[in-house]
Amino acid sequence: MSEFSGTCVALSGGVGGAKLALGLSKTLAPEHLNVIVNTGDDFEHLGLTICPDLDTLTYTLAGLNNTETGWGRMGETWTFMDALKALGGEAWFQLGDGDLATHVERTRRLAAGESLSSVTAALTARLGIEVAITPMSDDAVRTYVDTADGALAFQHYFVRDQCAPVVTGFEFRGVDVATPSPAVLAALADPALGAVVICPSNPYISIDPVLAVPGLRAAIEAAAAPVIAVSPIVGGRAIKGPTTKMMVELGVTQSAASVARHYRGLIDGFVIDSEDEATGDEIRALGMDVLTTNTVMQSLEDRVSLAADVLEFATVLRSKPE
């Protein structure tokens, strides 16, 4: 087992990414892990600024996450939502009473002029999280899903319309004038950086918005560390969410190899599940190394084991001659 040394930067969206981020957090010293999180899912709702992927990462690393839904807090009560419904308020986006406190406090701090990075650092510290959870940008970036009937705001597509519309493309509105948040560039420029890990999140709606922030992809490419992506597709299926439905609608084969192709040119290594071992050579032919292991994370042990495998893979790649 070649021991990993140095720091790790992980790129993550919601549920799938958060599972691996948790595994990494149990494997690395907290000061050696920085999780860069997609903010394209963020939106203003009921007068609140809601940041779903930041909150999924925060709740997951704080051990507060609701494992059934994959979002929000465990053991929630719904007094606010029940009262809102009774008043005829917008009830399609479920806000638990505890979760509501996060949105209210974040909105208050943002309105007072704090950056999203500063607010996130304050909220995660209050929840006892030592790992850095960093928004990809402090500037507003909003994912819109292009459909045959026009562009849909992400949460309208994902929650209100339950991912039903046929997807033709994506827009990350505001990304062209966004800049990476300060901690992102610092983490990627750290000479001790030993690995950049693209977590098994949806490549189109969770990872692409991060890579679209001007300067961020270049900072990853300039980093001396190997870049490793973990496939979110196992046996042609997504573990959770609309990834494979999107692939069908975009005319992309539903396979781990398609995801490897999507990241081609950026990544040095790709991690696939044992179920997809037979596709390893096809993926290597794309010009990247392949690690085959168990990528389906059901238990905490699975999360830690995959994290250890990914970091060992990075160590192996770092020791390879250029």
Q: Which positions touch ligand FO1 (CB under 6 A)?
A: 13-14, 41, 50, 52-53, 55-56, 71-72, 93-95, 99, 155, 158-159
- Least CB distance from residue 70 to ligand FO1, whole Å? 6
In the complex, what is the shortest distance from the CB of residue 7 to ligand FO1, in angstroms, rounded to a whole number?
A: 26
Q: Report the residue number, 55 or 289, with the smaller CB distance to ligand FO1.
A: 55
Q: Which is nearer to ligand FO1, 99 or 268 (CB)?
A: 99
Q: Which residues contact 301 (CB under 8 A, 6 or more apart)?
A: none
Nearer to ligand FO1, 78 or 266 (CB): 78
Contacts of residue 322, Cβ cutoff 8 Å, sequence gap at least 6 = none
Whichever of 80 and 93 has its CB closer to ligand FO1, that residue is: 93
Residue 48 Cβ, how far from ligand FO1 at the closest point, in Å?
10
Residue 194 C-beta: closest distance to ligand FO1, Å: 28
CB 208 → ligand FO1: shortest distance, Å?
13
Residues with Cβ within 8 Å of residue 87, at least 6 apart in sequence: none
The distance of closest approach from Cβ of residue 261 to ligand FO1 in the complex, given in angstroms and rounded to an integer, is 23
Q: How far is the CB of 88 from ligand FO1 (least distance, A)?
A: 18
Smallest separation (angstroms) from ligand FO1 to the CB of 248: 19
Contact 239, 19 (CB under 8 A): no
Beta-sheet strand order (sheet of 167-173): 150-153, 142-147, 167-173
Identity of the residue, 55 or 273, whose beta carbon is nearer to ligand FO1 in the bound complex: 55
* Dist CA 72 CA 38 (whole Å): 16
Contact 160/45 with Cβ under 8 angstroms? Answer: no
The Cα 114–Cα 108 span in angstroms is 9
* Cβ-based nearer residue to ligand FO1, 15 or 183: 15
By C-alpha distance, which of 56, 11, 6 is closest to 217? 11
Tokens of 119: 């607010």
Whether the Cβ atoms of residue 216 and residue 27 lie closer than 8 Å to each other: no
DSSP string across 252-310: --SSHHHHHHHTTTT-SEEEEEGGGGGGHHHHHTTT-EEEEE-----SHHHHHHHHHHH
Taking the least distance from each CB to ligand FO1, the nearer of 95 and 314 is: 95
Residues 45/228, Cβ–Cβ less than 8 Å: no
- Residue 91 near residue 170, CB atoms below 8 Å: no
Residue 155 or 254: the one with the smaller Cβ distance to ligand FO1 is 155
